[in-house]
C-alpha cells in the first residue's frame, strides 16, 4: 500500500491517505522530511532509521538575532569570541606570521547578565580567526569544569556551533574524517569532543548575531581586542 512518512514536525508519522491529503501536512515550519513508499513496511524502515539518526544527532542551538534572550537564574552563561587582524590582506594572501589574533571568554550567572564573574583572554601571532573562535570554546569548556551548575555557551560563530552540535559527531564516527579535505583545527576539536560528551547533560548552546546588542558578546569582543593591543 502506498505510504507516506513524515518526520520533523507536529504531523510526524506514517500516512496511507492519498498524497493530496498528506501534502498539506508537510507545509509547516520547521519543514519536515517526508518521502513516499510503495509499502508500509519500507516506509516504517525509513522512518525508524531517520528517527534513530535523529536521536544520535546531538543537541541543536537556539538562534538569537536581537542579542536578547531570557537567562535562567543560577545557570552560567559563557560568552566566547575570537578574531584576528589580517593586515594588508591581498588576493592569494594568507594569515601572516605577524598578524595578531586573540580569543576571549566572559562568564556570567543568570538571570542578570550584566557583570561577568570571570573573564579570560589570550593573544597570539599568526593564528586564524576561526582557530581563535575554537580556542575560545575550548577554554570555556575547561573553565566550566570548575563548577557544577548547568551552563550555556554563547557564540556568534556558526562554524563553531554547527561543529559542536553536529559535524564533530559525524567526523568522530568516521574516524575523524570529513566530506573532503583535512579537518581544520583537528586537535582542538578532539579535545572539545571529550569535554562536551562528558558535560553534555548540563550544557546548551546559543548563537547570537555578532555585534547586535548582546552585552556579553560586546564584552568578549572588547576583551580580545585589548588582548591584541597589548601583544
Partner DNA sequence: CATGGCTTCAGG
Residue ranges binding DNA (CB under 7 A): 86, 89-95, 128-131, 159, 162-163, 167, 170-171, 178-181, 183-185
DSSP the chain: --EEEEESSTT-EEE-S-HHHHGGGG--SSPPEEEEESSHHHHHHHHHHHHHHHHHS----EEESSS--PPPTT-EEEEEEEEE--TT--TT----TT-EEEEEEEEEESS--SS-SEEEEEEEES--HHHHHHHHHHHHHHHHTT--S-EEEEES-HHHHHIIIIIHHHHHHTTS--SSSPPTTHHHHHHHHHHHHHHGGGEEEEEE-TTSS-HHHHHHHHHHHHHHHH-
Q: Is 86 in the site for RNA (CB under 7 A)?
A: yes
Task: Please say which residue, 126 or 210, places its beta carbon nearer to RNA.
Answer: 210
Task: Please say which residue, 32 or 67, places its beta carbon nearer to RNA.
Answer: 67
The entry of DNA, RNA, none near residue 179 (CB within 5 to 8 angstroms by kind) is DNA
Mark 40-79 with x for binding to RNA (rule: CB under 7 A) and - for no binding.
----------------------------------------
Mark 151-170 with x for binding to RNA (rule: CB under 7 A) and - for no binding.
-----xxxx-----------
Mark 211-230 with x for binding to RNA (rule: CB under 7 A) and - for no binding.
x---------x---x-----
The entry of RNA, DNA, none near residue 85 (CB within 5 to 8 angstroms by kind) is RNA
Residues near RNA (CB under 7 A) are 81-89, 129-130, 133, 156-159, 209-211, 221, 225
Amino acid at each position: 500500500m502506498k505510504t507516506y512518512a513524515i518526520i520533523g514536525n507536529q504531523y510526524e508519522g506514517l500516512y496511507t491517505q492519498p498524497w493530496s491529503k498528506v501534502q498539506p501536512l508537510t507545509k509547516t515550519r520547521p519543514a519536515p522530511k517526508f518521502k513516499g513508499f510503495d509499502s508500509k513496511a519500507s516506509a516504517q524502515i525509513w522512518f525508524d532509521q531517520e528517527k534513530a539518526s535523529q536521536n544520535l544527532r546531538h543537541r541543536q542551538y537556539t538562534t538569537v538575532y536581537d542579542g536578547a534572550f531570557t537567562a535562567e537564574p543560577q545557570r552560567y552563561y559563557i560568552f566566547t569570541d575570537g578574531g584576528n587582524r589580517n593586515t594588508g590582506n591581498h588576493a592569494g594572501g594568507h594569515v601572516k606570521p605577524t598578524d595578531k589574533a586573540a580569543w576571549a571568554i566572559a562568564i556570567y550567572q543568570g538571570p542578570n547578565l550584566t557583570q561577568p564573574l570571570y573573564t579570560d583572554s589570550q593573544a597570539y601571532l599568526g593564528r586564524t580567526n576561526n582557530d581563535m573562535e575554537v580556542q575560545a570554546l575550548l577554554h570555556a569548556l575547561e573553565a566550566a569544569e570548575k563548577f557544577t551548575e548547568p551552563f550555556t555557551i554563547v557564540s556568534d560563530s556558526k562554524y563553531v556551533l554547527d561543529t559542536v552540535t553536529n559535524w564533530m559527531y559525524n567526523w568522530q564516527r568516521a574516524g575523524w574524517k570529513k566530506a573532503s579535505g583535512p579537518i581544520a583545527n583537528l586537535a582542538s576539536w578532539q579535545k572539545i569532543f571529550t569535554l562536551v560528551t562528558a558535560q553534555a547533560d548540563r550544557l546548551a548552546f546559543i548563537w547570537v548575531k555578532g555585534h547586535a546588542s548582546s552585552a556579553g558578546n560586546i564584552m568578549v569582543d572588547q576583551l580580545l581586542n585589548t588582548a591584541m593591543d597589548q601583544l
